[in-house]
A and B are shown apart, each in its own frame.
Chain A
Amino acid sequence: MPGKIRKTPLIEAGRDYLALGLEGSANKFGAGIMKHPKDGAATVLSNIRHTYITPPGEGFQPRDTALHHREWALKIINDCLAKAGVSMHEIDCICFTKGPGMGAPLQSVVLVARTLSLLFNKPLVGVNHCVGHIEMGREITGAQNPVVLYVSGGNTQVIAYSRQCYRIFGETLDIAVGNCLDRFARIINLSNDPSPGYNIEQEAKKGKRLLSLPYATKGMDVSLSGILSAVEAYTLDKRFHVQEGAEDKDLITPQDLCFSLQETVFAMLVEITERAMAHIGSKEVLIVGGVGSNERLQQMMGIMAQERQGQVFATDERFCIDNGIMIAQAGLLSYRMGYETPLAKSTCTQRFRTDEVHVTWRA
């Protein structure tokens, strides 16, 4: 295990704590209510999300996404409170995503958070999105001190905890893995419903042929943009045929490309995760982030962990994909350590690295 499992500096909850978490750093608006009861175990009271889905071949633009969040925010927060059966007056703090993410959507959510804070006179807690993912993953899976692979549309990082900081061991040097998959989905015109990554995964299951793509690990880091270009180049190849079930051996189908793309990039991710595990001597690995709900990635990680007599922890789409409850969880942890974001500083930022956060609630 990396380090010893020390006692948490978190003071035992003398009463029940309730936090509202608001998330909207990308194309999902999410709200969730987290309860930390007196006796310990955290409870998810409600966790609701709405996704802004664009037509096939299009990505989500910041401006339209922000508009989506503004339109849905109040409805979702109301639903969230109703489902949890609590009123705004009972909430201890309002947690919001400070960053990283897309500027416009972040701003529309922080505006909602600020307004609620002033209306109900509740303190604000700004949360790092990545730390939210990690804390929620730890809470749900019970992993004590895992190596974390955080893979989503905006982030690709291998993280390990050390001395009150989530240190980044390896990361992508260019685009995020989710971005790579999503953009390829756009190239071959896959639907964005429920998510482009999910549809790539379904297509990949039908693919058989492994086409050669660059394998780009650099130190502990990976580079993905070149792989996207390479796989895109195959779609311009003379052998590329869109219709399914072509038996001709020499044809390249979109399914083959999805399959090859997944196999290659996931192998790279699993490899750098394994290197981080070997380096710090950990046997646990936790996968978080939207791409973490990909079953092939979970499967590959599982095989790797098994070969090392380790264990893999993954969550399902409710907690993997961006959601409000993870912001509530990470926010409530820091709130209980005495952290609040004053109104004047309740800004958001597109650039906010995982390792900038002082993790006071862990020893």
Chain B
Amino acid sequence: MVQTRRDFLKRTAALSAASYLGMILPFNNAGNALAADDTEWHRGSCRLCGTGCRLELGVKNGLPTALRGVPQSRTNMGFLCMKGMLFWKVMNHADRLTTPLYRAKKSDKFKKISWDEAMNIAADKFAGAVKEHGPNSVAYYGSGQALTEETYLFQKIFRGGLQTNNVEGNPRLCMASAVGGYMTSFGADEPIGGYADIEKADCIFIIGSNMAEAHPVVFRRVMRRKLDNPKVTVINADPRISLTSRIADIHLQFNPGTDLAMLNALAYVIIEEKLYNEQFIKDYVTFKKDKEVSIDFEEYKKSLADYTPEKAATIMGGKVTADQIREVARKIATSEGTLSVWTMGLNQRKQGVWANNLVHNLHILTGQLLKEGADSLSLTGQPNACGGVREGGGLCHILPGHRPVEQEAMRNQVEEAWGIPKGRIPAEPGLHTMAMFSAVNEGKIKAMWINCTSPVQSLPNCNKYNIGLAKDDTFIVCTDIFPTLTTELAANLVLPTAFHFEKTGVYGCTERRSQITRKAINPPKGARPEVEIVRDWAALLAKKLNDPIIIQCIKPFAGLESEYALPKAIWEEYTQKMTKGRDNDLSGAPYEVLEGMYDGVQWPAPTTEYAKTGGTVKKFVRGMDPLAEKLKTDDKPYQFYGAAHPDHKLWVWIRPQANPEEIPDADYPFYLSTGRIIDHWHTMSITGRIPELLRANPYAYIEINPKDATRLGIKPGDMVEITSRRGTNIMPAKVYEGPIEGMVFAYWHDQHPDRMINKVTIDAIDPGSKQPEFKICACKIKRVSGPQALKPYVV
């Protein structure tokens, strides 16, 4: 505030007089701008889990200063967790990568090089690999945190340009089984309802999800529902008593891997006590033994004969009683609306798809679907696993718009839309994640692009795959904002990219909702948005391979500035050409519509007017889903138009109990399970650089049941060695009445080589979804020393 002497004297005199008389003068602080006053707030999405919280980034003088929730948003209603509130702090972190780094050999040190050199090297290596070893010698490994535009453009160049389906992403490690479950049970991927069901649900069945840690903002909605309506029943089924169990009325604690028996037993009770919805089954359900063989209700009933609650209770380890199973089954069947929620506890399993099917079975049998408050809802782990990767064609077997690669008609649609010759996209699906990294081990992949993820830390049994990643056989390009274990161990070329809010793009969260984040600040000098990097790289590739079709792939995007026009053009192409007419129709949701909304649009949203209302809350319901009306085959209120089920019915599957790959034995007597913790995100490259978050959880620990700890002489804080057939970790013990006896639990974020739990986990995969079994393996534990002062470790 500038004040002249005269002003000052005047005010002083006036104030003295006023105070003498006991008056209050109408002076205000208008001249004294408060710190917050000139802060601009830019709306976007949070990038640190699949909830899809809407938030605003506060920007002052071009620098980020704060994050706050958007109260009008239908996903988070203004609430944020600590990660979401604090991630602005890494935007200007000193560790940000700002120049391309290159090393010819992985044992060398990185050298700083210019962008031109970097792009040339990347194009050279990929072109060389394709020329010498064929298109399948190159691969893309992306992320559920990449924007939809990025995933879409990458897969377009790899499929259409380089002619390989080796397009994968870390969502293979997190929700491939959920995709398998939805496709086989409902005929179409992604949930029927969404978060809105939480506020209508009467019974909430949480299985294999510690949503209090992994999805705290969704958990708040569940908690609110329970507190406002004490009659609402919350059931938690988990081998570990977690924070989520705190609000549960019933907690079913079972030995890891026996939940298939439990879910079958629930179905047994539902049928035995005639709690199923006969009309619903008659109208909408087919029973399946396998894909080709349909069976009748009686045969399905017979298949469950083995799963009496008594037997199931025994299989589950004896902590759950048969009566509890009966009670849960009755609740699920008879409540006004039952909502099931699960995450990795079901997905990251060798029987992941089966476990998903069994949950869907309960909903289909009881008709707890499609009505208010009833749904079978798989929560996604990453912010854009649904939107970008599942819908955008980011996995080796699917093209954009939920199109299976193997179907020629689908490939042709895509080729036509891209204006490239028919037959350009290969018919064979590419390598799935674990096969891709096995191929790296064998030296079959010559050039690989890893975008926005750190497989060196996040792959199960990572010791095995890191051998291949560290070899010079595979040239690896990493695009990231920070150094990670992957850039350190595996990368030949590191390209610095723009962070969230430094570029424009769309994220699609759990409930089919696509939400835009517009650029709010400039990336650090030298970092570039991925879409621009890929486009320019593709142009160079076209030159080096002398292939005009690669140019055709990027033709619609040539010359556009990368801040807004380029992602907009990509989104336009994706929604108008790829999703139009598909079940994830987003053609009514161009940038203009998304920008006008506090949250976003739930597909299908074929028209702009409809999209502006928020889109489809419930799929398959006539009157709520425009596609159900359009694609109806009869007069019934529900229309299951999913392409995977030609009979337009829901399928109930026979899925017997099956053991995980490894069960404890005399040598390795413990189950090991891994998971998340509220304050950290994945490989910690972001949250590890936020002091507040790191201080709360500086390093990983192993949770041990007090009974086991007493038996093994382990005290709280003691250093414990965890060994499996694959690797070893040493970390402090947390003796805690959490995991069931005979089970230990660790979170997987820690980057320190001693505490990287994925060295211990198993790489067995689900035969259907190819998702690895992170959640269950056998290990042994041993006390090595008393407490030690440890230091947090971030690359």
Q: Is this pair of chains taken from one and the same complex?
A: no
Which B positions have Cβ atoms within 8 angstroms of A? Answer: none
